Structure 1
């Protein structure tokens, strides 16, 4: 029991450190990407925290298997470096016994990965897509930056010089709208002294209300333009509503994927079910690879192990794409990839058991 607690603590602590570093790198890259979108006016900075939170289960789904794989390599490699494995062998601890001890933390990590893969990651992807689509479907004054031309979708570009003291009124508003069906339709240029947003509670529709301005209708290539002077002009921006369930397999719940006969749904289901299984396969491979010579250092086999993980994940993603495109039957699916690396892990464990842990 003491040995079990010791090994489990070493593996989980190393895994936590590796997972923290990987999450910091991945989330940092995504944060920079979203922050650039905020700077461009794609959505307000207030939704940035929610977007990162909803992305977290998807990140954990990919980070935890790799972190556990590297955790076993580094933790057991350190045991070899300190000759602690030699003491365990002298006490009668075989490689199979060491593998049995490793399986319990492996099961805990697999359950966490399964929760993320089967439930949390699809929910987070759907929530993220809903936020992004809602922000792109409407012009929000909170994302307007005075003195900049900003694109808000649907062929609209807006420019303002500033806000009123209470932040509700936009000053010197300029809006350019492209024709929606090619060059034969006019483009509209609207200028107003001030403007504000308005939401109709009964319909949820959003409007940009402009006051004291002019509107010009221009057909590209035509030297004439229509001019309209107004005291009040309203432009419909879109509807503020929650995004309905998407037809894409990535956003569907796992139960719906199981019932669907579409190749994309079957591919996505096999991916979600295969990620927890990958944790056990990686643990089976990691234990034999962690055996190092003390004179080589515990990082001697880290690079080959990473290459092996990359090959595993690349083949798995290729199989998922093949099933989704229909070029690979769903009955075969991704399971041969798991079986091949599982057989490789068994071969490595058998070889280690045969040679002993001298």
Structure 2
């Protein structure tokens, strides 16, 4: 029996690895093109692309692995049915319940990996990437500036420089527009200067842009009055080391913090994270009866309806997450009825398969 278990597990995991590799290639390629476009437009440095992709990997894995494992069972067992190997195993005493138990063992392993991603690694990676992106946007780094273009650096700040010197250490003909903070309230602050360069305070780690020979205007929208300040040298603080504002996005919160907060949005996000690993054993129950085909059908005969089943399952979970976050669906009810419906459907299909000859 151990040999059979190793054989079936190997067939599933090898097929899953191939499917997951293809899916990851497509998803990662799409994300990489998006980041590369941002880098080409000067919104991100090229050196940050590798880190961004690496920390996005857990979020890719938590979505890809359940689908890849589902398809792997369909394809691997479908091939075994076509080769009559499952029929031989049943004839040798391998009952359908025993086959289910053998399949659930790798399913629980995949569920544990997905759970680690959804509950811990994905929010950690998303938080890291958000901080990195916000930090790059808030830092008016010369490496991101393209001469002759207005560029948005986040936090209501737009910068322009006519040209950079050869070593990119000094800007010429500088224009900066930013939304006023603190005592400035909602004022729009516009600064123009002949030149500028960056410096870092060694004590505080704050980054400053030092402007020379320019004028600073503070304008309250809708008001005919504006403040004008002419200067020979003026320092604008760009950021403090480690200073980022990520807001209250629940996707970036740790699982422990979601539990502590307990509001609708937090509960919606928490249930979504719990649903990812829970999907794996339920999809296993659905895949086992759907993988049973006869030689005249081919092993791809039930692949399309099975994929439709997976898409409907995931779509309902997304709809429930949105409804919980908006307060239109009680968090106590949440996504659990959806899991219950698909679990019941899997058990019905499994029982029906046994009655039709799966014994």
The C-alpha deviation readout for 1:113-166, integer Å capped at 9, x for no partner, is: 01101111111111111111112222111212344332223242212423334x
Distance of 1:243 and 1:221 partners within structure 2: 31
What runs of 5+ residues in structure 1 fail to find an aligned partner?
A: none
RMSD (CA atoms): 2.8
- In the TM superposition, 1:23-172 aligns within 5 A as 23-153=24-154, 154-165=156-167, 167-170=168-171, 172=172
* Map of 2:333 onto structure 1: 332
Q: How far off is 1:256 after superposition?
A: 2.2
Distance of 1:122 and 1:221 partners within structure 2: 42
SS at the partner of 1:324?
helix
Q: How many residues are aligned here?
A: 353
Distance of 1:186 and 1:342 partners within structure 2: 57
The answer to whether the 8 Å contact 2:148/2:160 transfers is no
Distance of 1:337 and 1:186 partners within structure 2: 50
- In the TM superposition, 1:237-252 aligns within 5 A as 237-243=238-244, 246-252=247-253
TM-score, normalised via structure 1 length = 0.89
Tell me: CA distance 1:276–1:29, structure 2 relative to 1, closer, same or farther (3 Å): same
Q: How far off is 1:174 after superposition?
A: 2.4
Q: How far off is 1:60 after superposition?
A: 0.8
The answer to whether the 8 Å contact 1:246/1:252 transfers is no
Tell me: CA distance 1:307–1:189, structure 2 relative to 1, closer, same or farther (3 Å): same
* Map of 1:344 onto structure 2: 345
SS at the partner of 2:29?
helix
Q: How far off is 1:330 after superposition?
A: 1.5
Distance of 1:24 and 1:286 partners within structure 2: 24
Tell me: CA distance 1:80–1:164, structure 2 relative to 1, closer, same or farther (3 Å): same
The C-alpha deviation readout for 1:268-309, integer Å capped at 9, x for no partner, is: 111111211110000010010011121221111111011000
Tell me: CA distance 1:186–1:130, structure 2 relative to 1, closer, same or farther (3 Å): closer
The answer to whether 1:175 aligns with 2:167 is no
TM-score, normalised via structure 2 length = 0.89
The answer to whether the 8 Å contact 1:95/1:352 transfers is no
What runs of 5+ residues in structure 2 fail to find an aligned partner?
A: none
The answer to whether 1:283 aligns with 2:284 is yes
Distance of 2:254 and 2:75 partners within structure 1: 36
Distance of 2:305 and 2:44 partners within structure 1: 43
Greater Cα shift, 248-257 or 100-109: 248-257
